[in-house]
Amino acid sequence: MHDLAVLELEDCRRCGLWKARTRIVNGSGNPRAAVMFTGEAPGKAEDLKGIGFQGQAGKIFEALLSYLGLSRETIWLNNAIRCRPLNGRKNRTPRMGEIEACRPWLLQDMETVDPKVVVTLGRIAYESVSGRQDFTEKRGRLLDISGGPALFPLFHPAYLIYRRASRQLMCHDLMELGRYLDEIGIDRAKQTRPGDVFCES
Ligand code: SF4
């Protein structure tokens, strides 16, 4: 078994994002999890705390987990990019070179945790894990990556903060994902009702 890609501050300078980071945001959760969630990149709160999905997006992420009957303790959570991408003082979308530079850490996580399914959150995570550029067509569907775990792309939680219509799509996607998790025998706690966050009744 390889070591998890857990990096100490200042360890990695593969791309220029090390210059402005407070912390590298490594993966967290259960290193033997059957379900891995991969997000995009740290924002301000994550950069300070060193743990993925804080703040408003974190609340939506936890609601998503709760809806699926999962928790931060039962999954493995990481990001496509481990240092905060900044444009001045604001977050920005990671650049292709940064995604490529950080990808070995992501792949190392995948190899070590060896999950049955990787749930990607948003376009960047999907592209980094799959190497494909068809997020819009594939979102909400189960995909096979040759020789790797199954892949299930979802919207990024931050995308849903102000988009109620997309929450309805997320509702549908989560039901599909839940059915698949049952099919492959993932142990899930009692789930929240669909209408709680994502599905309007
Ligand atoms: S974003 Fe990834 S590749 Fe770039 S410095 Fe941080 S850990 Fe290294």
* CA contacts within 13 A on the Cβ side of 49: 13
- How many Å lie between the centroid of ligand 1 and the Cα of residue 82? 6
Give the model's pLDDT for residue 164.
83
Two structure tokens written together for 141: 């569907």
Parse the chain into domains and list their residue ranges.
18-184
With a 6 Å cutoff on the Cβ, whether 18 touches ligand 1 is: yes
More confident residue, 165 or 76: 76
Per-residue pLDDT for 198 more than 90? no
With a 6 Å cutoff on the Cβ, whether 70 touches ligand 1 is: no
Cα 61–Cα 135–Cα 29 angle in degrees, nearest 5? 30
**DSSP secondary structure, 35-82, as one string:** EEEEES---HHHHHHSSSS-HHHHHHHHHHHHHHT--TTTSEEEES-S
- Name the pTM for this structure: 0.94
Tokens 């999950």 belong to which residue?
115
Q: If pLDDT is split at 50, 70 and 90, which confidence band does 1 have? A: very low
What gap in Å lies between CA 129 and CA 119, rounded to an integer?
10
Q: What is the CATH number of domain 18-184?
A: 3.40.470.10
Q: If pLDDT is split at 50, 70 and 90, which confidence band does 40 have? A: very high
With a 6 Å cutoff on the Cβ, whether 101 touches ligand 1 is: yes
- How many Å lie between the centroid of ligand 1 and the Cα of residue 91? 15
- pLDDT tens column, 129-140: 999 999 999 999
With a 6 Å cutoff on the Cβ, whether 99 touches ligand 1 is: no
Cβ-Cβ contacts under 8 Å for 83 (sequence gap 6 or more):
12, 15, 17, 18, 20, 21, 24, 25, 41, 42, 47, 102
Tokens 């604001």 belong to which residue?
90
- How many Å lie between the centroid of ligand 1 and the Cα of residue 156? 20
Side chain identity, residue 179: R
Give the model's pLDDT for residue 197.
75
Specify the residue with its C-alpha closest to ligand 1, atom 6: 83
Arithmetic mean of pLDDT, 143-159: 92
Per-residue pLDDT for 122 more than 60? yes
Arithmetic mean of pLDDT, 162-191: 91
Report the residue among 6, 8, 12 best suited for mutation to probe ligand 1: largest number of ligand atoms under 8 A from its CB. 12
With a 6 Å cutoff on the Cβ, whether 64 touches ligand 1 is: no
Cβ-Cβ contacts under 8 Å for 200 (sequence gap 6 or more):
164, 167, 168
What gap in Å lies between CA 39 and CA 61, rounded to an integer?
10
Give the model's pLDDT for residue 174.
94
